[in-house]
Structure 1
Amino acid sequence: MACIAIPTKNKKEVFFEAKGALLALLKLLKISYFIDTKLPAKEYAHPLKHLAVKSENQTIAEIFSVHPDVLKKYEINGEVGVIDIDFEIMTKLIKNVSVHYAQLPKFPESSIDISVVVPYHTLVAEIEKTIQSVDNTLISHIELFDIFTGGQIDEGKKALAFRITLRALDRTLKDEETTSVQHKIFEALKRKGGEIRGLK
């Protein structure tokens, strides 16, 4: 087992930085995975920033932010993120890895930020799959960058904020193309029971 703790005083979300780093590694190693957020509460883990990355019914890693009460107790300023990796399981899941080269993108990317309200126990992976299915050609990356509860969010629900990167290999995307993909994403999420925040 290995743990990495990263204290920070800046505005970057360490939890999502850690998640992105691990998923990038799994993609490189060609390990298929799914994300499980239905985890038992742990007194040292932030209740909204705690997930497990699993494959073939095995837990590869847990990622969490340290609970604010723990940080306060030990007088730690800033957020602390932890990646707890089971390297024994991960190495057993590694398939034949070969190196592939791709041409560097010639055209700029566009990005869309959306926030969708879903039932609290909805898996992030389910929402990401729904978004990706809208356009596998233009959607090149999906990043979860925040989770909201309370306030204007109804009890039993959470708001997930995503940054979606669009890119075409052969051209610069027009505004109307980006807008079209955005509307299709909205419709796909609404069909799944999601509520788009800020959409009237």
Structure 2
Amino acid sequence: MFTGLVEEVGTVRGREDVDGAARLHLAATTVTEDLAVGDSVAVAGVCLTVTDHDPGGFTADVMPESLARTTLGALAAGAPVNLERAVRADSRLGGHIVQGHVDGVGTVVARTPGPRWDEVEIALPAHLARYVAEKGSVAVEGVSLTVTHVSSTSFGIALIPTTLAATTLGGLAVGAAVNLEVDVVAKYVERLTGADR
């Protein structure tokens, strides 16, 4: 489980494609401080398992399912990625409950700079719109954000200066594809009440 509070922006050092899957080699410093093989790290919002590490980075395998359903399939050497280690049970949950299980890929359709923040509009797959609520939470590229408004085809977010400076969202251009994870509580409520039938 993650919080959606990015610890650092890492860089893809390299990528090996292996039988339809991929092995990502990522440069990082903060998340490697206490990293062990088998640990979970959210990479651009996707939960991956560490298979190898050193003080300058780590390696993770990416299955065909994740390559097909997330933006990881398009990653190449040099690409920046948001990184977050799994949350510890003895720390604050500062963002919201993020599983690292991407629900779909959205597209940045508008970006309006403000005096100290940017307002961003993201188009989302139609089947995800019902899980996004105004003032609710959503994870975009693994970043926990508050929804400012929502329609049947898109939602808005406001990026504060810290988010602009400390995550990859600061460099997102119109047309960029982004990993989306909707609030897991909304999905379970729908399932338990039978509203999805």
TM-score tier (shorter): under 0.3
Higher strand share: 2
* Richer in helix (by share): 1
TM-score, normalising length from structure 2?
A: 0.26
Larger Rg: 1
**What TM-score comes out, normalization by structure 1 length?**
0.26
